[in-house]
Amino acid sequence: MSRSAGFVVVALAALLSVSLASHVQAAESAGAGPDRAQLQLASVNAAVAFADADELVYGKNADRTVPIASITKLMTALVVMESGEPLTEWLEFKTRHIPAPANAYTRIREGSELKRADVLRIALMSSENFAAYTLARHHPGGYDAFVEAMNAKARELGMVNTSFVDPTGLSLENRSTAADLVRLVKAVSNHPQIREYSTTRYFTGHFRQPRYRLAFGNTNILVHRESWGVGVSKTGYLSDAGRCLVMLSEMDGRPVVTVLLDSLGSRSPMGDAGRIKRWLTTGAGGSVAAAARAYEQKKNAAYASSDNTSVSAN
C-alpha cells in the first residue's frame, strides 16, 4: 500500500469512528431518561422503577439493608393470599402469645372476630398491627410457619437482602433494601385484593363476639387523590426506620413503583413522591428542606457506623 493510500484509509477510519460515535450518542440521548443527579429526595434510601421494566430508573442507597417497619405488611398480605385460606373465614383476635417488639396499641378487643378479608384490609390500609399478627396466628402451621413462609417468599422473589422475624414490622429485625422492595411491590400488584385493600380510603369493620364497629382510614393521603392513580400503597414508621412509603402509581402515563425509606417527617415521603413524579415528567429535580438534609447526614453516619461495627464484630 502506498503512503498516500495509507493516509486515506486512516482518514476514512477516523471519519467512520466519529460517525459511529455520533450515532451512538444520539441513540443514547433519544433513549435516556431524566438526569438522575437532578433528583433531590428527603428519603435516605430510595428506588424508582417502571412496573414493566427490570432496571431501576433511580436509586439512592438502594442496596442498603435497613429496617422497613410496616412495609413488612405487604409480604404478610402476599403470604395470606398465596396460602389459599378462605377470605370469608371469621378469625379470632387472640391474646398475643409473645410480647410485641414495640408499641402495639390497638382498638380491637381481644376475643372478637372479623372476616379474614377485612382483617387483611385493615392491616394494609390502616396498618393495624393486631390485624397482621392475627393473620399469622391463623395461618396453617401457626405463627412460626407464617414467618418462615414470609422468608421463603422473599427468597423466591430474589429479595436476597431481606429477612423477616414478625408479620407486623414492629421489630427492627425486619430488614430489606429499596431495590428488594421494588420486587415485592411488583409481586403484590398481581393480586387484585391486595391492590384494593391497600388503597381503600375508609372502611368500617363489623366485628362480632362481641358485636361492635370500628372506623379505619388509609395512612397514605395520596390514595385520596385521583390524579395519582395509586394501585398499591403501604406506609411504615418506627423511630429507627423513619417514615417509609411504597407505592405503585401512575406517573407520566406509566405505572411506576416508588420505594421511599427513612424520611424525617410524616409528609416527607409524600413530598418525595411529588418530586419523583415531576422529575419523570419534566426532568426537574426539586429541592428538600435543610432539616431533611441534616437528618440524612445524621442517618448516613449512623448507617456507616453500624456497618463498621458489624464488620469488626465478624
Residues forming the active site: 70, 73, 127
Instruction: Write down the number of H helices and E strands in the chain.
Output: 9, 11
Task: Write the single-letter amino acid at 285.
Answer: G
**Backbone φ, ψ for residue 14 (5° rounding):** -65, -40
**Backbone φ, ψ for residue 272 (5° rounding):** -65, -40
In angstroms, the CA 272 to CA 267 distance is 9
Among the listed residues 70, 119, 126, 121, the one whose alpha carbon sits nearest the alpha carbon of residue 93: 119
**Backbone φ, ψ for residue 268 (5° rounding):** -60, -45
Cell of 291: 432539616
Kindly state the DSSP code that residue 208 receives in the 8-state scheme: B
In angstroms, the CA 73 to CA 166 distance is 10
- Count of Cβ atoms closer than 10 Å to residue 228 Cβ: 20
The answer to whether the beta carbons of residues 131 and 122 sit under 8 Å apart is: yes
Kindly state the DSSP code that residue 226 receives in the 8-state scheme: G
In angstroms, the CA 282 to CA 236 distance is 29
Helix (H, G, I), strand (E, B) or coil at 220: coil
Cell of 148: 418462615
The residue behind cell 399478627 is 133
In angstroms, the CA 106 to CA 90 distance is 19
The answer to whether the beta carbons of residues 275 and 292 sit under 8 Å apart is: no
